[in-house]
Structure 1
């Protein structure tokens, strides 16, 4: 087995960062998708990072044979006050630093347990299924989309 499924996560991080690099042009207006989901660059960045961290912790627990932590949380259903902050060059630099390291942590961790990628872990997903799911973090970035200076946000 040589096609590490966690590479999907690292590739998704690259796609998210490519979109995030355009968020410096965001004009501060809410982006509304699916009728009632409110998005801002900071909210998308928070959700991407939360998703990467939460599922990496799940992978670590599963590999260790430990129970996963089940915490109730609101996810994308809430927009926090801090989600309305401007997305700055420093925010982008920190996202690059964190997300790339987290994506690499998935690849590195999965490379140590290739024989476990498809091991059933009911009621949890397999490690391969987790990587496939986490690679969908691009959905958060796509809710904000790509900006160019002079364009405005709006309903999508």
Structure 2
């Protein structure tokens, strides 16, 4: 599941790819995109990427601190909120850039601060922090649901 790349590079690379797609979303026609058994909009894609990053960052932080993780209770992709259906404006893109680039920086700083032993420490059946960060690359799925417009 992991490879030779330093895991600190992965979330910033993910965010760069997401934002490259999002830069075209001001042209969105307002029609949700059906993908698999869900529907996606630009706002929903950004929400899902950000929520996924926050969720796993909280998991990594709790595990490194040696405390129990808080289970997430988000509805995730199962719901599409009224806010998800709003037009995606240049201001929304600016907000997404600020939010996601800051999250990427937090991951970069946090993951670089972990020792190799911490990166590969497994608590029971849970993924290691390294595996978690590699898993986050899959968040591009949400942005790819909208793609480049």
Asked if TM exceeds 0.5, the reply is yes
**Aligned structure 1 segments of 4 or more residues deviating by more than 3 angstroms:** none
The yes-or-no answer on 1:107 pairing with 2:87 is no
Aligned length: 145
The yes-or-no answer on 1:89 pairing with 2:90 is yes
CA distance in structure 2 between the partners assigned to 1:119 and 1:80 by the alignment: 37
Q: Is the 8 Å Cα contact of residues 40 and 145 (structure 2) preserved in structure 1?
A: yes
Q: Residue 60 of structure 2 aligns with which residue?
A: 59
The yes-or-no answer on 1:120 pairing with 2:143 is no
CA distance in structure 1 between the partners assigned to 2:101 and 2:138 by the alignment: 16
The yes-or-no answer on 1:98 pairing with 2:99 is yes
More helix by share: 2
Structure 2 counterparts to residues 1-156 of structure 1, below 5 A: 3-34=5-36, 36-115=37-116, 116-147=118-149
Cα displacement (A) at 1:3: 4.8
TM-score normalised by structure 2 residue count: 0.92
> For the aligned residues, what is the CA RMSD?
1.3
Q: Which runs of 5+ in 2 are unaligned?
A: none
- Output one character per residue of 1:20-44: Cα deviation in whole Å (capped at 9) or x when no partner: 001000010111112x311110111
Q: Is the 8 Å Cα contact of residues 41 and 144 (structure 1) preserved in structure 2?
A: yes
CA distance in structure 1 between the partners assigned to 2:88 and 2:67 by the alignment: 37
CA distance in structure 2 between the partners assigned to 1:73 and 1:122 by the alignment: 24
Cα displacement (A) at 1:142: 0.2
TM-score normalised by structure 1 residue count: 0.88
Which is worse superposed, 118-127 or 58-67? Answer: 118-127
